[in-house]
């Protein structure tokens, strides 16, 4: 390890490479220093998180004021949730608590936070309810609650697209995020019956370690696997509904995000 800490620019270089999954491009002496130095490692992670957040903010701002306004709510709610259940473990993992739609093709994508839409904190609920109400009003203005309609609504809920994941998967569908040229051998939208066996396929000749995550339409992780193979068989007991699946490599690069409709 060099006896001086990294300069701010060296931290920035590593953070950028870490975010884009191009760590290997970082000069060896910088990587070696970070391996040994806790302080610089902490800075790299913090700066990587901050620039990811900045990207999210910019992207959200350019899309609409409304989105910008809601942005920090889940983050703040996430913290409230933590304090509520123990008040001690304080982490800073913004990518997990923020919308995913503005991620770069090879961004350091973590899992979509399953807590993002968790109804444990009131703020989440309020936010979700607001968005849901808006969408409901747009789509189903005449529906009022009655027992039979409630059942239908429940099922409709299970197929309601998750805005951020929907956006992400559509970017892969349009080829906007195939920078890594990862080859997937199934359709972007897979339709299956609830009792069907679901097998996902891709090309992985180098046998890289890949993480597969399946998320429901609330963003909750329902299945997770690590594999070096080219196929994965999913569990058999998916409830009816809309799901998303993501493939991430060991450097946190998001390789693919597809949809799964269980009917």
Binding site for Zn ion (CB under 5 A): 5, 37, 39-40
Q: Does 129 bind other proteins (CB under 8 A)?
A: no
Binding piece for other proteins, criterion CB under 8 A, among 14-22, 154-162, 168-176, 236-244: 14-22
Choosing among other proteins, Zn ion, none, which partner's interface includes residue 202 (Cβ < 5 to 8 Å by kind)?
none
Which residue's CB is nearer to other proteins, number 49 or number 169?
49
Q: Tell me which of 60, 113, 169, 218 binds other proteins, using CB under 8 A.
A: 113
Q: Does 217 bind other proteins (CB under 8 A)?
A: no
Q: Does 34 bind other proteins (CB under 8 A)?
A: yes
Q: Which of 249, 212, 238, 215 is closest to 115 using CA atoms?
A: 215
Q: Does 79 bind other proteins (CB under 8 A)?
A: yes
Q: How many residues bind other proteins (CB under 8 A)?
A: 68
CA distance 106 to 76: 27
Q: Tell me which of 228, 231, 240, 263 binds other proteins, using CB under 8 A.
A: 228
Choosing among other proteins, Zn ion, none, which partner's interface includes residue 156 (Cβ < 5 to 8 Å by kind)?
none
Contacting residues toward other proteins, per CB under 8 A: 7-9, 11-13, 15-16, 18, 23, 31-32, 34-35, 38-39, 41-51, 53-54, 57, 72, 75, 79, 81-94, 96-97, 108, 110-111, 113-115, 118, 120, 207, 209, 221, 224-228, 250-252
């Amino acid at each position: 390890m060099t006896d001086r800490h990294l300069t701010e620019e060296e931290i920035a270089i590593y953070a950028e490479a870490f975010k884009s999954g191009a760590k290997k491009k970082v000069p060896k002496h910088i990587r070696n220093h970070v391996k040994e130095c806790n302080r610089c490692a902490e800075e790299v992670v913090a700066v990587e998180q901050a620039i990811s957040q900045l990207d999210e903010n910019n992207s959200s701002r350019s899309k609409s004021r409304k989105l910008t306004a809601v942005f920090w709510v889940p983050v703040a709610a996430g913290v409230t949730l933590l304090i509520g259940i123990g008040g001690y473990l304080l982490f800073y993992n913004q990518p997990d608590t923020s919308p995913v739609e503005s991620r770069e093709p090879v961004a350091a994508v973590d899992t979509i936070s399953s807590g993002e839409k968790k109804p444990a904190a009131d703020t989440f609920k309020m936010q979700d309810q607001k968005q849901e109400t808006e969408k409901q009003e747009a789509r189903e203005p005449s529906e009022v609650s009655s027992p039979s309609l409630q059942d239908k609504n429940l099922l409709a809920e299970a197929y309601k697209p998750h805005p951020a994941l929907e956006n992400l998967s559509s970017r892969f569908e349009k080829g906007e995020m195939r920078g890594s040229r990862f080859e997937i051998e199934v359709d972007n939208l897979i339709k299956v019956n609830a009792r069907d066996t679901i097998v996902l396929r891709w090309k992985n000749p180098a046998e890289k370690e890949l993480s597969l995550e399946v998320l429901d339409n609330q963003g909750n992780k329902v299945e997770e696997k690590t594999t070096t193979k080219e196929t994965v068989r999913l569990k058999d007991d998916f409830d009816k509904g809309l799901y998303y699946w993501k493939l991430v490599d060991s450097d946190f690069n998001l390789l693919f995000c597809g949809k799964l409709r269980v009917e």
